[in-house]
Amino acid sequence: MQFTRKGLKADGFTGFRPVRGLETMRIPQGTGLFAVVAPQGFQPRFLNKSTAGTFKKKDPTLPEAALTAEWVEDAVVLYVGKAGPGSKGNRGLRRQIQEFVDFGQGKPPGHWDGRAIWQLADAGSLSIAWKELAPEQLGDAEAGYHAAFLAEFGKLPFANLVQARTKTGR
């Protein structure tokens, strides 16, 4: 797997819509993975305070030293997450991505995966791509992307602070 726009497209990712002005009705409702992708030549500038909403009364802001330590030089993919069906079967890519973007605009989230994205000064210029997958494939697929990224770059994508694991724990 190549962690470039071209590599993601070859692996079945579509969309590549900018966060700024994202039209969520154009995102499929099914389950799958999504990736946050930096534009060509993107240079990180970190905000002192995150634009993201609070979670369980906790501020999502990370210290600049932590953000700098997580930054992966020359990586285009900044985050890989999953969008499952939810306990009632009413979730999926459209709802997960909308909640992710809403989180970056200060709304309280149901979780705060990817929160480092919202401390980038120009997060609106980032794009979101997605790949539809069956619910039973999600855990292994997310863990596989994380492991492959780790193997290539020596650490997880910038905003993935925790490595996904397969159901067997690997």
DSSP one-letter string for 95-159: HHHHHHHHHHTTPPPS--TTGGGGGBTTGGG-EEEEEE--GGGHHHHHHHHHHHHHHHHSS--TT
141 in any annotated domain: yes
55 in any annotated domain: yes
87 in any annotated domain: yes
Torsion from C-alpha of 105, 109, 112, 116, nearest 10 degrees: 0
163 in any annotated domain: no
Mean pLDDT, the chain, rounded, equals 92
42 in any annotated domain: yes
pTM of the model: 0.93
Total domain count, the chain: 1
109 in any annotated domain: yes
Chain segment 51-106, per-residue pLDDT in tens: 988 878 889 999 999 999 999 999 999 999 999 987 777 789 999 999 999 999 99
Q: Which domain holds residue 128?
A: 5-153
